[in-house]
Structure 1
Amino acid sequence: MSTLGTLSVIFDLDGTLVDSEPHYYEAGRRTLAAYGVPDFSWAEHERYVGISTRETITDWRERYGISASVEELLAVKNRRYLELAGAATRVYPEMRAFVELLAAEGVPMAVASGSSPEAIGAILAGTGLDAQLRIVVSADEVAHGKPAPDVFLEAARRLGADPADCVVVEDAAPGVAAAHAAGMRCIAIPYVAAQADAAEFATAGLLLRGGQAEFTARAARAWLADPAGRP
């Protein structure tokens, strides 16, 4: 058993462990442009942060009147994303340090993401995070993506952990809501600073309004040991 007892940690991937949102934005922009939707902006992309790729594309079809199927659009966007992400995806340094710290202490960990299994696998392998994060759940594998709790509950099941013993690390409001719905504590690190006041973030056990600039591995580890305290 780890030094933190029965606790397990479940990480979101995009915007939490790695700074992949720029790649997702560019893949989305290129995909939409190919289907007659020009000038897709970063501000428009921000509304989809934390939502699964499938749900994002389903919304695109309705919002932009695209006739192509969800499966076709998924294939195109995933291909474009993998081309971009394969070149370079940055791991947040303090997040890597946190993963390594938890691994050294024997804390069970998993990744639960709205991305496709292929995208998750490529990012973890390309960054070397797959050495510590071997249990992975994609929203494609469960009935409902975030803000439904399905991905986190499935991650807990695969870890053999009680949801009440799990802590989720998240950057987006839908993910924080999903953690709360799953009965899990949450460390929230908003990717979009302007969203830090969203009601979903108020449910987090630890909210770092400054985002990744405020996060440190040692402070997060201290909070896990003593949630009543604040780094």
Structure 2
Amino acid sequence: MDTARTSVIFDLDGTLVDSEPNYYEATLRTLGAYGVTREDFGWEQHTRFIGIGTRESLEILAGHYGVDAPLDALLAATNGHYLELARASTPVFPEMRAFVQRLYADGVPMAVASGSSRSAIEAVLAGTGLDAYLATLVSAEEVPRGKPAPDVFLEAARRLGAVPERCVVLEDAPPGAAAARAAGMRCLALPYVAGTADDPAFADADRLLRGGQADFTAGAALRWLAED
């Protein structure tokens, strides 16, 4: 791999860490204050919003469930619940940790570009120890548009001093894969939800691991990057 020219940009939730259960619980707690139950908003419903920013998801859910509250208040509540859950426990996918450590040792520039709030990103990285390797962070809060717009990835490339065509994105959700494509970046896709593997957004990925994390190994990913 040409470490002087290749940069790697990671999505966070569902790609580096298995944080979606925490996001589901945080969202449910927020909606629960307005009468929405687990029966109303189950895990399956939550999976439809994976890859979409927290603000955008809450806006849709508030409209669907008739929640009459300011979006900023819903967002603050959800972020508060999430931070509490994330600090208690956020599992890192083992092969992803190994991959990050290998890239770091090789001097490959890396960034995290996520639809989560910056405070959530920082809390997860600090709690998992990934902050020792990943210092460049971009939240959807910091750009005009969230995924599937390319803004977070383009900003990450800018902060790394990298050109988009020399960046590789790792993503678990169709909106993120679409954002990588729109940014002009290569994409390694690892569907978090198995049923999304046939989503058209993944069809444009440079490499699709249909089994998601079960198919991912640090060694194979490094070999794939070295082919470029």
Amino acid corresponding to residue 73 of structure 2 in structure 1: E
Residue 145 of structure 1 and its aligned partner are, at CA, apart by 0.2
Counterparts of residues 149-228 of structure 1 (less than 5 Å): 149-226=150-227
Identity rate, percent: 65
Q: CA deviation at 1:61?
A: 1.8
Q: 2:62 maps to what in 1?
A: 61
Give the paired residue count: 226
Length-normalised TM-score, structure 2? 0.97
Give the partner amino acid of 1:162: V
Question: 1:10-29 counterparts in 2 under 5 A?
Answer: 10-29=9-28
2: CA distance between counterparts of 1:32 and 1:62?
11
CA positional deviation for 1:4: 3.0
Is the 1:82–1:119 Cα contact (8 Å) retained in structure 2?
yes
Q: Which runs of 5+ in 1 are unaligned?
A: none
Corresponding residue for 2:131? 130
Query: What is the alpha-carbon distance in structure 2 between the residues aligned to residue 148 and residue 103 of structure 1?
Result: 28
Residues of 1 paired with 2:14 and 2:126: CA distance?
17
Deviation string 1:37-69 (CA, Å, 9 cap, x unpaired) is 122100100110000001011111211111101
Give the CA deviation at 1:30: 1.4
Gaps of 5+ in 2: none
Equivalent positions of 1:102-141 (< 5 A) are 102-141=103-142
The answer (yes or no) to whether the contact 1:167–1:184 under 8 Å persists in 2 is: yes
Q: Is the 8 A contact 2:153 2:179 kept in 1?
A: yes
- 8 Å contact kept, 1:86–1:123: yes
Look up the match of 1:85: 86
Contact persistence 1:3–1:105 (CA under 8 A): no
**For 2:8 and 2:94, how far apart are their aligned partners in 1?**
18
> What does the per-residue CA deviation read over 1:8-63, in whole Å, with 9 as the maximum and x for residues that have no partner?
00000000000000000111111111112122100100110000001011111211
Query: 1-side partners of 2:52 and 2:11: how far apart?
Result: 11
Q: Which moved more, 1:57-66 or 1:100-109?
A: 57-66
Q: Secondary structure at the match of 1:177?
A: helix
Whole-Å Cα distance in 1 between the matches of residues 63 and 209 of structure 2? 34
TM-superposed CA distance for 1:3, in Å, is 4.4
1:5 Cα deviation from its structure 2 partner: 3.4
- For 1:9, the equivalent position in structure 2 comes to 8
Distance in 1 (CA, whole Å) between partners of 2:84 and 2:106 is 35
CA contact (8 A) 2:2 2:226 kept: no
Query: CA separation in 2, counterparts of 1:131 and 1:50?
Result: 25
Counterpart contact for 1:4–1:225, Cα < 8 Å: no
Q: Which amino acid aligns with 1:101?
A: R
The 5 A counterparts of 1:27-46 are 27-38=26-37, 39=39, 40-46=41-47
Taking the aligned partners of 1:3 and 1:114, their CA distance within structure 2 comes to 29
